[in-house]
Amino acid sequence: MRRLLSERARQVQPSLTLALTAQAQELRRQGKDILSFTAGEPDFDTPDFAKTGALEAIHAGYTKYTPTPGILPLREAISAKFERENGLRYAPDQIVVSCGAKHSLFGAFMAILDPGDEVIIPTPCWVSYPEQVRLMGATPVFVPADESTDFLPDYDALRRALTQRTKAIVLNTPCNPTGAVYSRQHLKAIASLALTHDLWIVADEIYEHLTYDGSTHESIGALSKEVLNRTITVNGVSKSFAMTGWRIGYLGAPPEVVRAVSCLQDQMTSNACTIAQHAALAALQNADSQWYDSVRMTFDRRRQRMVEGLNRIEGIRCGAPRGAFYVFANVQGLIGRRWQGRVLESSADVAAFLLEAAGVATVPGEGFHAPGYLRLSYATSEAVIQAGIERMAEAVSQLK
């Protein structure tokens, strides 16, 4: 019989993080007491200044289509933000606003990749990069890193991964899931690879404002004009402004890429939601260092509590992540132990055990191409973190 679904649709993997978040919600709906550390979103509300922008847009009648790449005032505000906060010079016509940074990344990959191309992805990596690359018919080439280098990829390993087909390298700093923050030295090494081998750098900077312990985020495109000409910088309002549901992301790129992304978007979604664009504009216009500092300080306290608590549980260990809002904990010490007669054989088993025995939802490292680890989001209250740690410690103490 003729296949009903395309090869592409049959091959694509669902997002593990979204699936586990949904599973935790479903268990709660069934009345189970679940503490969830799966979510990739801040737990606090979108700030009033952004909401006001949306309400004013509705009342002013801004409820129709806009140009595909976004309203000019928003692209101007993004252009100014790129220059002010990142040292990146992207004119407003070098910016495309999309329906979330995930959509921006999809547009970027679609604009630059052909079937057969290869894309270097340092791992552990965010779940969507490999799938998006595969959806283009291209091949993700993974370059693993571990705790010994703070999860930063080794330059020689990156170089060895290059082939004639390598078209791009993905750079996610601060990184989801590890919290790794690339230093200028690392950025320079990646930039020199890109320049020497004529690669695109797809720089996902969505967690830029969340850095700790004196680490600071730097944009690779700010290194030089040559590097900027090889860089597609992706960002959005989801994480910095607790606006995950508004679906506004954006990219800055050289003109030919921007034209391609905009043209592709013409045929896929047209503009991102007009009202949400006005909310994002208000967010960018009103954000000051006080806002960013208060968000960062809140996450920092939670981060410390999570790291301290996890390291007190025998069999689990983690370093203090320098960015984003996740802890990537090594649970290899729990693998091989028994619960109710069953052996925990993988980090996926450990996650399933914690869900069942402790009512604690986490995301196993398998989803990030890093088995042996669990990702725990600390974008939740300190009380939930404390309770979750206690429950996990109690459950782990029952392992044989």
Binding stretches for ligand PLP (CB under 6 A): 40, 100-102, 126, 172, 176, 204, 206, 236, 238, 244, 249
Alpha-carbon distance 141 to 161, whole Å?
7
**Least distance CB 384 / ligand PLP (angstroms):** 19
Q: Which is nearer to ligand PLP, 70 or 100 (CB)?
A: 100
Structure letter (DSSP) for residue 345? -
Output the smallest distance, CB 17 to ligand PLP, in A: 7
**Closest among 314, 320, 324, 322 to 395, alpha carbons compared:** 314
- The CA angle 172-36-32, to the nearest 5 degrees, is 155
Comparing CB distances to ligand PLP, the nearer of 243 and 396 is 243
CB of 235 to ligand PLP, least distance (A): 8
C-alpha–C-alpha distance, residues 395 and 227, integer Å: 50
Q: How far is the CB of 167 from ligand PLP (least distance, A)?
A: 20
Smallest gap, in angstroms, from Cβ of residue 116 to ligand PLP?
25
Residue 204, SS3?
strand
CA distance 239 to 209: 9
Q: Hey, is 361 helix, strand or coil?
A: strand
Helix (H) or strand (E) run with residue 338 in it: strand 338-339
Minimum CB distance to ligand PLP smaller for 236 or for 359? 236
Least distance from ligand PLP to the Cβ atom of residue 277, Å: 13
Q: By Cβ distance, which residue is nearest to ligand PLP?
A: 100
Looking at the Cβ atoms of 204 and 218, the one nearer to ligand PLP is: 204
DSSP state, 95? E
Tell whether the torsion through CA atoms of 191, 193, 199 and 203 is positive or negative: negative
**Lookup result for tokens 């690669």:** 199
In the complex with ligand PLP, the residue whose CB is nearer, 12 or 383, is 12
Closest contact distance (angstroms) between CB of 102 and ligand PLP is 3
Question: In this complex, which beta carbon is closest to ligand PLP, that of residue 238 or of residue 347?
Answer: 238
Length of the chain: 400
Residue 4 C-beta: closest distance to ligand PLP, Å: 29
Q: What is the 3-state secondary structure (H, E, C) of 234-265?
A: EEECCCCCCCHHHCCEEEECCHHHHHHHHHHH
Sequence-distant (≥ 6) Cβ neighbours of residue 226 within 8 angstroms:
195
- Closest distance of CB 200 from ligand PLP, Å: 17
Report the alpha-carbon distance of residue 189 to residue 89 in Å, rounded. 21
Is 169 or 206 the residue whose CB approaches ligand PLP more closely? 206
User: Could you tell me which of 210, 203, 247, 211 has the C-alpha nearest to residue 227?
Assistant: 203
Q: Which of 107, 41, 34, 88 is nearest to 261 (CA)?
A: 107
Residue 245, class by beta-carbon neighbours within 10 Å (0-12 exposed, 13-18 middle, 19+ buried)?
exposed
Decide whether 132 or 262 has the Cβ nearer to ligand PLP: 132
Q: Which is nearer to ligand PLP, 132 or 330 (CB)?
A: 132
